Amino acid sequence: MPIGKPSHDLSLKLKLLLIKHGKCSACVDRPKAKYCGRCFNTRLEPGVLEALTVLDLGAKFKENGKRVFQELSEDDYVNPPEGSYFSHVLERKKKLERLYDELQHAPAGSEHEAKAMRELLWAIDA
């Protein structure tokens, strides 16, 4: 990541990539469909929607620490215990951002770029 650019810029670019390439396969060809049972009218694949949520929630955990959640519980949202939901969110956020960073640094049109894109898409569905 270039020096001086905030990390939320990377996160925003990743979110835009996910939205662009994560259209729901069940309703992408039916834009006028009133209801989709696969994506529940979000028009995004379920894994993409979860990844977007992880990126947002992980950023909130890091940004606000205990301030937002201090009334709800005594859990540590910045350094959560291993195996907790919150550690899963933060680990997944780091993994998605790492894979996206790798994709950005891959030469355009190369096999490395294709592999990085496949790994990123696989991580979204995992």
The answer to whether the pTM exceeds 0.85 is no
Q: Could you read off the pLDDT of 81-114 as tens digits, one per residue? A: 788 888 888 899 999 999 999 999 999 999 999 9
What does the buried/exposed string (b/e) look like for 34-63 if buried means 16 or more CB atoms within 10 Å of the residue's CB?
eeeeebeeebbbebbbebbebbebbeebee
Phi first, then psi: what are they for 44, rounded to 5°? Answer: -125, 150
Q: In whole angstroms, what is the distance from residue 121 CA to residue 126 CA?
A: 9
